[in-house]
Structure 1
Amino acid sequence: METSSPKSHIGRKISRIRELRGIKQEALAAELGISQQAVSKIEQSEIIEDEALEKISKILGVTSEAIKHFTEESLIFHIQNMYDHSSAYTYNNQCTFNPIDKIVELYDEKVQLLERLLESEKEKVELLKKQNKS
């Protein structure tokens, strides 16, 4: 008797991705418009129709190809290499400007706005003085 390998069991992959995303079967069922028992049956199925897989993948926030090719090993590899600064997964989050210069620039803009506001208030006072004299 031949048993299917976990690598080809789409239902188990959906279940694992759903768990990793923190989505309960009830929530997935509600999004799909089916019962929780139907989701449980899908997750026990080795093969799933492409149309259903597309709907599920959208709800889980992954592509259907990602579900088909999902393995625990690739997930672990990705997580391990996400923090390895010598890998291709390194994200370059360097500023393209000097933050201190930006702060000074914003401060100067604020000073200019306050000066214009003060000037406007002075003009109002002068107008009110003229109106009181008349």
Structure 2
Amino acid sequence: MSTATKPKHIGRNISRIREFRGMKQEALAIALGMSQQYVSTLEGSETIDDERLNKIAEALGVSVEAIKSFSDEGVINYFNTFNETDFSNSQGAFGHHDQYTFNPIEKLIEAYDENKKLYERLLESEKEKISYLEKLLKEK
């Protein structure tokens, strides 16, 4: 029985990352400047040379290391961490407080009142402008 670990299947990792990104093989092929059939062949390959892997990583928007170390279990574990958050202290999943220190209706009324005051000042300014222009016309 061998204790050597089996190398990761890079092509399968590329396929899974592409699927998670919502990208079709054809879109990846266009980004890489190759045919969809060739992308399919790459995704079936256990190993890929570093130069090509760099281009693929760039097209997928991930690092080469992310492709090499990708695992479905890691993705599942990552998303499960969001379910393990303790909500008993009234904090959201990302540690933000969900308690507001103001009443949104009061803020809306304040904004309305402020807009009303600004409109009244604008109206007064326009009245002054009209009266000034009327005065100029009468002088001529």
Q: Could you say which TM-score interval applies, normalised by the shorter chain?
A: 0.7 to 0.9
Alpha-carbon deviations, 1:18-71, whole Å to 9, x = none? 112111111100000011111111111111122221221122122111111111
TM-score (norm 1): 0.77
2:129 & 2:15 partners in 1: Cα distance?
Answer: 69
Q: Calculate percent identity across the aligned residue pairs.
A: 49
The answer to whether residue 120 in structure 2 is matched with residue 115 in structure 1 is yes
Q: Which SS does the other structure have where 1:91 is aligned?
A: coil
1:71 & 1:99 partners in 2: Cα distance?
Answer: 46
Aligned to 2:70: 70
Structure 1 stretch displaced more, 50-59 or 27-36:
50-59
Report the count of equivalent residues. Answer: 129
TM-score (norm 2): 0.74
Structure 1 stretch displaced more, 119-128 or 100-109:
100-109
Ranges in structure 1 where 5+ consecutive residues have no aligned partner: none
Q: Which SS does the other structure have where 2:84 is aligned?
A: coil
How big is the alpha-carbon RMSD for the aligned residues of Structure 1 and Structure 2?
Answer: 2.9
Superposition pairs for residues 89-108 of structure 1, below 5 Å?
90-94=93-97, 98=102, 100=104, 103=108, 106-107=111-112
CA pair 110-84 structure 1, distance change in 2 beyond 3 A? farther
Structure 1 stretch displaced more, 31-40 or 110-119:
110-119
Aligned to 1:130: 135
Structure 1 stretch displaced more, 110-119 or 54-63:
110-119
Aligned to 2:81: 81
